[in-house]
């Protein structure tokens, strides 16, 4: 049975102990120690990493009474000095303790029980059994958890028997029947938990709620505690500073500025559309003067297919013609007519495009196609023009 030092002192980072066993498995090499402060995956808290006899600890798992440390290679000595990766562990302690406090406040304020907890590499989430929490309720929760942080309640842990556990107002019944580990957040809650926690709520630093969403009848709350909350604030500050500098305005005026900018954009967009339509109408009139037995065919090196579609629409609106416009810019073309011709543009494309490695199609009155290169485009353009000359 490994003596689990993290139960006795979550702040212990270095110790010297004896190697008890070495296991060679498919998943890798595992070392069992007499005493270990390495926390194994469990209870929503990820495992620790660190060094064991100068060798990297990659993974830590709990198996019955033992803690197994997956290592790159086995240590050569029986006695090994161990050290856990403290920044990683302390982060887990802040997030995990933050979760206890957040869950307690959700329960106290809105009778919302936590049904699951996820401690991810970037952020944490809890699911609470309420289909919805209003923005006001979430704001009240955030205010209350941070108030408990400033009150700096002590957090202590100890083992009790099943009978003793029954007498405590536990958050939920313990999963184990003997040696129940209690984590007590003074004036807040008694919780059966095997994880590692900070010594007092003040060390959680801060809890910031980031978003809430519906999740199968529950509400999922995303949050960050401690250094993660600070980093989040720094990151948001950085983005906000850039925005205010770029838009040359204070942060309180940002939204106003964006509203005005959006209106200006809409106005300009309408103006551009109006001008384009006018230009298309004019160009369509020009094209109509150049028709050759009911057919207009033109090539453009500076217009996109979208521009040519608008132009073709204008042409067929103004005259009884077939119109074929090619964009050498995009190697695409459009073929359309006003509706009074016994020609199906779509059917013609379907039949003839394969010979020119073209892809496309359309209806009776309009079809479009794209080509791999300008050569194919122009060959198909010419073929279509010749085929439909009255």
Secondary structure class of 356 (helix, strand, coil) = helix
The residue range among 17-25, 81-89, 194-202, 243-251 that interacts with Zn ion, by the rule CB under 5 A, is: 194-202
Closest approach of Zn ion to the CB of residue 76, in Å: 37
Exposure string of 27-44, with b = 16+ CB inside 10 Å and e = fewer, is eebbbbbebbbbbbeeeb
Closest approach of Zn ion to the CB of residue 213, in Å: 24
Neighbouring residues of 160: CB distance < 8 A, sequence distance ≥ 6: 168, 180, 182
Burial (CB count <10 Å: 0-12, 13-18, 19+), residue 243: middle
Closest approach of Zn ion to the CB of residue 246, in Å: 44
Cα–chain center distance at 346:
43
The residue range among 59-67, 193-201, 261-269, 298-306 that interacts with Zn ion, by the rule CB under 5 A, is: 193-201
The residue range among 185-193, 216-224, 298-306, 365-373 that interacts with Zn ion, by the rule CB under 5 A, is: 185-193
CA-to-CA distance for 367 and 337, rounded, in angstroms? Answer: 10
Exposure string of 322-361, with b = 16+ CB inside 10 Å and e = fewer, is bbbbbbbebbbbbbbbbeebeebbbebbeeebeebebebe
Which residues within the stretch 75-94 sit at the binding site for Zn ion (CB under 5 A)?
Answer: none
Size of the site for Zn ion (CB under 5 A): 2
Burial (CB count <10 Å: 0-12, 13-18, 19+), residue 238: exposed
CA-to-CA distance for 191 and 199, rounded, in angstroms? Answer: 15
Closest to Zn ion by CB, 116 or 237: 116
CA-to-CA distance for 14 and 36, rounded, in angstroms? Answer: 10
Is residue 174 close enough to count as binding Zn ion by CB under 5 A?
no
The residue range among 77-85, 156-164, 186-194, 227-235 that interacts with Zn ion, by the rule CB under 5 A, is: 186-194
Closest to Zn ion by CB, 125 or 331: 125
3-state secondary structure 165-226: HHHCCECCCCCCCCCEEEEEECCCEEEECCCCCCCEHHHHCCEEEEEEEEECCEEEEEEEEH
Is residue 195 close enough to count as binding Zn ion by CB under 5 A?
yes
Q: What track of x and - describes contact with Zn ion for positions 210 through 249 (by CB under 5 A)?
A: ----------------------------------------
Closest to Zn ion by CB, 193 or 334: 193
Closest approach of Zn ion to the CB of residue 185, in Å: 10
Between the CA of residue 330 and those of 276, 355, 358, 370, what are the distances in Å?
Answer: 20, 19, 13, 8
The residue range among 192-200, 238-246, 269-277, 319-327 that interacts with Zn ion, by the rule CB under 5 A, is: 192-200
Closest to Zn ion by CB, 103 or 366: 103
Is residue 98 close enough to count as binding Zn ion by CB under 5 A?
no
Calculate helix-pair angle for 254-288, 305-318, nearest 10 degrees. Answer: 50
Structure tokens that stand for 50 in this block: 């660190």
Closest to Zn ion by CB, 98 or 195: 195
Closest to Zn ion by CB, 117 or 348: 117
Closest approach of Zn ion to the CB of residue 188, in Å: 12
**Nearest position to Zn ion, beta carbon:** 193
Closest approach of Zn ion to the CB of residue 238, in Å: 33
Closest approach of Zn ion to the CB of residue 196, in Å: 8
Is residue 10 close enough to count as binding Zn ion by CB under 5 A?
no
CA-to-CA distance for 283 and 257, rounded, in angstroms? Answer: 38
Is residue 193 close enough to count as binding Zn ion by CB under 5 A?
yes
CA-to-CA distance for 376 and 358, rounded, in angstroms? Answer: 8
Closest approach of Zn ion to the CB of residue 248, in Å: 48
Closest approach of Zn ion to the CB of residue 193, in Å: 3
Interacting residues with Zn ion (CB under 5 A): 193, 195
């Amino acid at each position: 049975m490994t003596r689990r030092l993290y139960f006795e002192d979550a702040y212990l980072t270095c110790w010297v102990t004896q190697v008890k066993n070495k296991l060679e498995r498919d998943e890798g090499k595992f070392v069992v120690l007499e005493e270990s402060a390495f926390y194994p995956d469990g209870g929503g808290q990820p495992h620790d990493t660190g060094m064991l006899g100068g060798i990297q600890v990659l993974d830590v798992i709990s198996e019955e009474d033992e803690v197994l440390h997956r290592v790159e290679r086995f240590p050569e000595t029986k006695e090994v000095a161990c050290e856990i990766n403290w920044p990683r562990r302390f982060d887990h302690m802040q997030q995990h303790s933050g979760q206890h406090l957040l869950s307690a406040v959700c329960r106290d304020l809105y009778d919302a029980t936590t049904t699951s907890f996820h401690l991810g590499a970037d952020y944490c989430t809890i699911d609470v059994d309420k289909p919805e929490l209003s923005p006001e309720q979430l704001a009240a929760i955030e205010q209350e958890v941070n108030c408990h942080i400033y009150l700096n309640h002590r957090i202590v842990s100890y083992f009790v028997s099943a009978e003793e556990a029954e007498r405590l107002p536990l958050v939920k019944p313990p999963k184990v029947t003997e040696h129940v580990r209690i984590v007590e957040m003074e004036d807040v809650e008694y919780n059966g938990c095997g994880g590692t926690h900070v010594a007092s709520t003040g060390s959680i630093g801060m809890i910031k709620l980031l978003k809430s969403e519906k999740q199968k009848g529950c509400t999922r709350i995303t949050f960050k505690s401690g250094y993660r909350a600070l980093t989040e604030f720094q990151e948001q500050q950085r983005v906000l500073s850039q925005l205010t500098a770029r838009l040359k305005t204070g942060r309180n005026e940002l939204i106003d500025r964006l509203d005005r900018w959006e209106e200006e954009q809409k106005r300009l967009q309408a103006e551009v559309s109006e001008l384009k339509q006018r230009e298309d109408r004019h160009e369509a009139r020009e094209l109509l003067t150049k028709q050759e037995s009911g057919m207009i065919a033109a090539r453009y090196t500076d217009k996109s297919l979208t521009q040519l579609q608008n132009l073709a629409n204008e042409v067929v609106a103004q005259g009884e013609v077939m119109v074929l416009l090619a964009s050498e810019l995009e190697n695409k073309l459009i073929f359309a007519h006003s509706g009074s011709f016994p020609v199906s543009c779509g059917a013609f494309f379907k039949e003839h495009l394969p010979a020119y490695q073209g892809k496309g199609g359309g209806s009776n009155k309009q079809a479009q196609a794209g080509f791999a290169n300008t050569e194919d485009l122009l060959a198909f353009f010419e073929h279509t023009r010749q085929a439909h000359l009255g």
